[in-house]
Amino acid sequence: MTDLSAFPITRRWPPRTPGAIQLYSWPTPNGVKVSIALEEMGLTYDAHPVSFDRQDQMTPAYLSLNPNNKIPAIIDPAGPGGQPLALFESGAILIYLAEKTGRFLPQATRYEVLQWLMFQMGGIGPMFGQLGFFHAFAGKEIEDPRPKERYRAEVARLLRVLDTGLAGRDWIAGDYSIADMAIAPWLRTLREGYKAADLVGWADLDNVPAYLDRFLARPAVQRGLVQPPRV
């Protein structure tokens, strides 16, 4: 097994499986992107829970791996050239894993997959998250309706863009890809976590609801959605 002792985070969360990718995460929409990808790609990994309840993401051990104090992050003992690779930012991790395995980022549609991945990272994730804050969390106590309405309208617009992109397709870039692994967990959270479907015209969408249901029916997705276990 590659020695990972040079990474301070491994003293807080020791590796359990020789040679396995070390995943530091929590089952949020951003976190499960990577656990789903690891399951879909059949890669061996140790899932370490970075609990928000305990503020694990703010500890020196975690910040030594990701100074931006967000999840997920990974260490791959068998990175490029056989050397360990530490990586944060979920989109970068998805691209890395796809290139490592040669799966879910087809050369023929590479840039189409990447454009939809960036669409999630730059639009869906930030805007859905803000709507969740104002609709389901502490922001709902703010009396001024303008912040919530701003994000509600933008989420509804992004959903219409996605709905148009899915016309005549099962998956957003043709074949199932890392773009779907990035987008669909946020749709699930919008519908089931934030309970905001009615707010953004979910029932009026032609393609998005069935797209999410197809995604959630995949066995690897079901496994990835519960990693790491909440403890």
122 shares a domain with 27 = no
Q: What is the pLDDT of residues 73-96, one digit of tens each?
A: 999 999 999 999 999 999 999 999
94 shares a domain with 13 = yes
DSSP codes joined into one string, 50-73: --TTTTGGGSHHHHTT-TT--S-E
Where residue 134 sits, what CATH number does that domain have? 1.20.1050.10
128 shares a domain with 91 = no
Does residue 3 surpass a pLDDT of 70? yes
The enclosing H or E element of 76 equals: strand 73-76
133 shares a domain with 61 = no
56 shares a domain with 28 = yes
**Confidence band (pLDDT; 50, 70, 90) for 1?**
low
Residue 4 inside a domain? The answer is: no
Residue 98 inside a domain? The answer is: yes
76 shares a domain with 23 = yes
Sheet holding 45-49, edge to edge: 45-49, 21-25, 73-76, 85-88
Angle 165-169-174 (CA atoms, 0-180°, nearest 5)?
A: 90
111 shares a domain with 84 = no
192 shares a domain with 141 = yes
Give residue 75's domain range.
Answer: 9-104+220-224
Q: What is the pLDDT of residues 152-199, one digit of tens each?
A: 999 999 999 999 999 999 999 999 999 999 999 999 999 999 999 999
How many domains does the structure of the chain reveal? 2
Report the predicted TM-score, pTM, of the whole model to 2 decimal places: 0.97
Q: What is the pLDDT of residues 152-164, one digit of tens each?
A: 999 999 999 999 9
